[in-house]
Amino acid sequence: MGSLKHHAFQLEDSLPITRHLSLVTVVMGSRRKARECALQMLFAADVAGTRGDQLARTFWSELADGALEPGAQEFATRLALGTLAHLEEVDERIRSRAEHWRISRMALVDRNLLRLAVYEFLQEPTPRTVTINEALEIARRFSTYEATQFINGILDAIKRDLDVESPEPESIANEDAIEAED
């Protein structure tokens, strides 16, 4: 597989997801910006095959254009690298709910947004409803209307599975407003 640096121009020319990183609106919360950066890292990893620390270093030095403060940058890196580290488990969750859809056939943005959200469900303390809302807002920005509905359906089904397996503590479930303001 090629290096991330080799594919940077290709990524910038082919999708608004990397080309417009520096145009992210100021009003948007830093955690959403971090999620968008994490999505872009996952997209780059999918295209270029770059993984781990090399992916993060290359992304932040060559593609990200200093768009985030350090705390949000750490969150984005943790999300992206964590998703890649747990990819098998994450993809299995998606496969279990993506009826008649192979992950490899999903659009790059959509599958990586699903992966990011499912990882956040499984490994981060973010309330699941906030994770879904954030994923849908990002899908509206970088994907299609139909894809947003598709992503919502899959994430909602996975959330219901997880709610049965391990319900969120009431204190976490009630933090929706706090997280959404970040």
Would you write out the chain's pLDDT as a tens digit for each of its 182 residues? 444 444 443 444 444 444 444 433 433 579 999 999 999 999 999 998 888 888 898 888 887 666 678 899 999 999 999 999 999 999 999 999 999 999 999 999 999 999 999 999 999 999 999 999 999 999 999 999 999 999 999 999 999 999 999 888 765 555 444 444 45
Q: Which two tokens stand for residue 132?
A: 């879904």
| Domain boundary assignment for the chain | 1-85, 86-182
What is the Cα–Cα distance from 139 to 115, expressed in whole angstroms?
Answer: 13
The residue written with tokens 């992916």 in the block is 55
State pLDDT tens for residues 105-150.
999 999 999 999 999 999 999 999 999 999 999 999 999 999 999 9
Cβ-based neighbours of 141, under 8 Å, separated by 6 or more? 36
Closest CA to 52 of 82, 93, 13: 82
- Residue/partner pairs of 162-171 with CB below 8 Å, 24 or more apart: 162/121, 162/122, 162/128, 163/128, 168/127, 168/128
CATH of region 86-182 = 1.10.940.10
Query: Does the pTM of the predicted model rise above 0.85?
Result: no
What one-character-per-residue DSSP string does 17-74 give?
HHHTGGG--TTS-HHHHHHHHHHHHHHHHHHH---HHHHHHHIIIIISTT-S-HHHHH
Instruction: Give me the pLDDT at residue 122, please.
Output: 97
The residue written with tokens 């359906």 in the block is 153
- Residue/partner pairs of 59-66 with CB below 8 Å, 24 or more apart: 59/4, 62/4, 62/5, 62/8, 63/4, 63/8, 63/11, 63/12, 63/18, 63/21, 64/21, 64/37, 64/40, 65/21, 65/22
Instruction: Give me the pLDDT at residue 73, please.
Output: 92
Instruction: Give me the pLDDT at residue 170, please.
Output: 62
